[in-house]
Structure 1
Amino acid sequence: MPDEAGPIDHVVVPGTFDPVTYGHLDVIRRATRIAPEVTVAVAVSRDKRGSARAFTLDERVAMVREAVGELGIGDVRVMAMDGLLVDFCRRIGAGAVVKGLRATTDFEYELAQADLNVRMSPDLESIYVMSNPEYGYVSSSIVREIAALGGDVSLLVPPCVERRLKRRFSGGDVGIL
């Protein structure tokens, strides 16, 4: 079958980023090596696997922008996304989605998503990068839980995110998220 699509010059790194972690930022940085144009899509995500949101969409977009700038990650555009990922990619002209995989549970979830995405948008590629072993255990929900309990998250998130988490959870015992 001939390849008529050509090279991919614009990729999207989607997520809820509640909050953005060093693991997310590692995937974003690596995406900048894959394509010359990278858009980070911060999803509205009304309900992600039963997890409550700590930050609003606007806060999460601002946090990702600040973290990307703080770490000096290339020229990356950060946008809010509401609706289907395939529609967002089509609207901004992205040819692929880049995501990180930490464990087999991520693989199973992402495989199902990729299968659905290819049915809705056959030309949209799914590109996966294996988690950096340094961040393989990091998730936003774990970061929220540690922060809510007053723990140190400085090894998991950049300083700008750590400051926001401290402000968010400094109101006393908020319990486990």
Structure 2
Amino acid sequence: MMLAVYPGSFDPITNGHLDVALRAAKLFDGLVVSIYSGSTKANALFDPEERIQLARDAFAACGDANAKKIEVGSFSGLAVEHARAIGAGTIVRGLRAVSDFEYEFKYAHMNDHLAPDIEVVCLMTSSKHSFISSSFIREVASLGGSIEGLVPPNIVGAVHEQVARVRHVLPAHGMA
């Protein structure tokens, strides 16, 4: 069985993440979307357990047949060690723009140094999702903007509820 892993923080999971995961699921027998549960970012919106449940719900509700090939879990430590531990021979990464390419290029080479037996495959996000990032979602929501159409429907309410709870913690700078 060809198993791949798609690691990330997914805070929150976006339609861009779903796009990459569902297309990766077409290419492999199984895909594990693994949410990083190591040190939490200072501006994290959801804890790892919440992100796992939100991602599971998003895949369950997306209506794509390939979602049945996707499991959602968590990991800490190196992604290549996690891939090896679950029997995945491939790490999937998403590319939105040229700026992502430079980072992912270095990421792939570092992982090749650490684990030459684990391949890194980058999938370009569909153009309609290429501008979406979790950090933009958090910022737009914290400033009262609409995130509908940018994240799965189950994420919209969860993000707005969480932002209302932690509004005083998030930075109050504006987007252009």
What TM-score results when the alignment is normalised by the length of structure 1? 0.89
Aligned residues: 168
Q: Unaligned regions of 5+ residues in structure 2, if any? A: none
Q: Percent identity?
A: 36
Q: Distance in 1 between matches of 2:105 and 2:156?
A: 32
Residue 151 (structure 1) aligned to one of 145, 154, 167? 145
What does residue 30 of structure 2 align with?
37
Equivalent position of 2:14 in the other structure:
21
The DSSP-based 3-state class of the residue aligned with 1:170 is helix
1:166 to 2:160 alignment:
yes
TM-score of the superposed pair, with normalisation by structure 2: 0.89
Deviates more, 1:165-174 or 1:76-85: 165-174
Specify the code of the residue in structure 2 equivalent to 1:64: A
Q: How far has the Cα of 1:42 moved from its partner?
A: 0.3
User: Whole-Å Cα distance in 2 between the matches of residues 94 and 53 of structure 1?
Assistant: 27
Please give the residue correspondences for 1:59-70 in structure 2 after superposition, counting only pairs within 5 Å. 59-70=50-61
1:104 aligns with 2:95: no
- Cα distance, 1:47 vs. partner? 6.0
Distance 2:101 2:62 in 1: 28
Distance, in Å, in 2 between the alignment partners of 1:173 and 1:59 is: 18
Give the superposed CA RMSD. Answer: 1.8
- In the alignment, what sits opposite 1:3? none
Letter in 2 for 1:74: K
- Counterpart for residue 85 of structure 1: 79
Which structure: greater helix fraction?
2
Q: Which moved more, 1:68-77 or 1:96-105?
A: 68-77
Query: What SS class does the counterpart of residue 94 from structure 2 fall into?
Result: strand
Residues 16 and 45 in structure 1, CA contact (< 8 A), matched pair in contact too: no
Pairing of 1:107-118 with structure 2 (within 5 A)? 107-118=101-112
